[in-house]
Amino acid sequence: MSEFSFPEQTGFYKGKVRDVYTIADHYLVMVASDRISAFDVILPRPIPFKGQVLNQIAAYMLEATKEICPNWLLSVPAPNVAIGKKCDPFKIEMVVRGNLTGHAWRTYASGKRELCGVPLPEGLKENDLFPEPIITPSTKAAEGHDEDISAAEIVKQGLATKEEWEKLCDYTLQLFKKGKEIAAKRDLILVDTKYEFGKLDGDIVLMDEIHTPDSSRYFYADGFEERQKKGERQKQLSKEFVREWLIENNFMGKEGQTVPEMSDEWVNTISQRYIELYEKVIGEKFIPEKLTKEETLNKIKTALSSLS
């Protein structure tokens, strides 16, 4: 079920978090909802202002990295709306990790010393820095869980040519380096993130959101080393705290498991964490904006008319 209908609309896709409208097969209108997902499941309650936070952080980061890699974004006509060029997507997510955290740590703790074909050094503790950032790609599943995949398998399956893969890796590492530099200025560590790319007129183009709390994990830099030495948990700004809450309540998206109830207090806590990350990363006060459906529609239509 779509919220809007546009002139020359040629497609609609409802994702876990975003509603995506295709216009004249050339443009995408991406509406960031307040839905929140974890373990590939949409949780039952929306998070106030989450869509605006994600959209505005992504726009800020795409602008800050456009010299490194061309991207899809053309305009941001409303707080939670982005309009950009339609690309032919690579069916892989470029996951890049600077620290042994999350899925990488769970893999490591199980005794494995390889992830997506990438060897992992011995003797690391949870959240330790890797000697160099590593790329651990996953397949982009239309439904269900994304799957880890190696570089060799990506080329073998034709998900990217060898040359395309090398370019994707180059862009990924440069973008991650820039993201870490931006984070460091705000006393944060960009721990890991993912990028999605597509092709447009033969060129590789950065798509979707980047460096947001849905696609990235941030640690506070202040006290990081001391917490590591003491074996304490790192203070972080990301969606991982939602995943941890779900795990504590016996939910990991597996068959037969039930999503735990989300109280008003918990929903508000999640919203405030998203706003905190916006203010920390962007360095500006978050200004909540709530437009009516009609106001949003009119702003989108005006922006689209300027493209034709």
Q: What are phi and psi of 164, to 5 degrees?
A: -65, -40
Q: Is there a single domain that holds both residue 47 and residue 74? A: yes
Q: Flag whether 252 is in a domain.
A: no
CA dist 137 and 147 (Å) reads 9
Does residue 215 sit in helix, strand or coil? coil
Q: How confident is the model at residue 143 (pLDDT cuts 50, 70, 90)?
A: low
Averaged pLDDT, 288-301: 94
Query: Is residue 80 in some structural domain?
Result: yes
| Nearest to 245, CA basis, from 9, 47, 31, 67 | 47
SS3 299: helix
User: What pLDDT, on the 0 to 100 scale, is given for residue 145?
Assistant: 63
Q: Kindly state whether residue 253 falls inside one of the protein's structural domains.
A: no
Report the distance separating Cα 176 and Cα 151, nearest Å: 18
* Per-residue pLDDT tens over the stretch 100-129: 999 999 999 999 999 999 999 999 999 999
The answer to whether the beta carbons of residues 149 and 137 sit under 8 Å apart is yes
Residues 35 and 116 in one domain: no
In a domain, 144, yes or no: yes
Is 75 in the same domain as 137? no
pLDDT score, position 308: 66
Residue 4, in any domain of the structure:
no
**Residue 246 falls inside a structural domain:** no
Q: Confidence class of residue 74 from pLDDT cuts 50, 70 and 90?
A: very high
Query: 96 and 232: one domain?
Result: yes
DSSP string, 107-167: HHHTT--EETTEE--SSPPTTPEEEEEEE--EE--SSS---B--HHHHHHTTSS-HHHHHH
- Looking at residue 27, its pLDDT comes to 97
Residues linked to residue 193 through DSSP beta bridges, in sequence order = 96, 216
Q: Residue 93 phi/psi, 5° resolution?
A: -105, 130
Question: Looking at the DSSP assignment, which residues form a beta bridge with residue 265?
Answer: none
Q: Are residues 181 and 102 in the same domain?
A: yes
What is residue 258's three-state secondary structure? Answer: coil
Residues in the chain: 308
Same domain, 205 and 233: yes
The answer to whether residue 224 sits within a structural domain is yes
Enclosing domain of residue 36: 9-88+258-305
* Whole-number pLDDT of residue 303: 96
Q: Looking at the structure, do residues 51 and 19 belong to the same domain, yes or no?
A: yes
Phi then psi dihedrals of residue 297, to 5 deg: -60, -45
Which of 300, 299, 297, 275 lies closest to 287 in space, CA to CA? Answer: 275
Q: What is the mean pLDDT of residues 275-289?
A: 93
Return d(Cα 129, Cα 123) in angstroms, integer. 12
Q: Which residue has the tokens 């009516």?
A: 292
31's CB contacts (< 8 A; 6+ apart) are: 3, 4, 18, 19, 20, 21, 51, 80, 81, 296
Residue 296 CB-half CA count within 13 A: 20
Q: What is the mean pLDDT of residues 252-258?
A: 90
Q: What is the mean pLDDT of residues 14-33?
A: 94
Number of domains forming the structure of the chain: 2
Same domain membership, residue 211 and residue 124: yes
Report pTM.
0.90
Pair 267, 296 in one domain: yes
The answer to whether 159 touches 92, Cβ cutoff 8 Å, is yes
43 has pLDDT over 60: yes
pLDDT of residue 241: 85
Q: Is the pLDDT of residue 25 over 60?
A: yes
Last residue of a domain, one of 238, 271, 286: 238
Q: Are residues 74 and 95 in the same domain?
A: no
Q: What is the CATH number of the domain that holds 159?
A: 3.30.470.20
Tell me: do 93 and 209 sit in the same domain. yes
Same domain, 231 and 95: yes
Q: Give the other-Cβ count within 10 Å of 46's Cβ.
A: 16
**Closest alpha carbon to 128 in 248, 224, 31:** 224
Could you tell me the CATH number of the domain that includes residue 298? 3.30.200.20
Q: Is the pLDDT of residue 1 over 90?
A: no
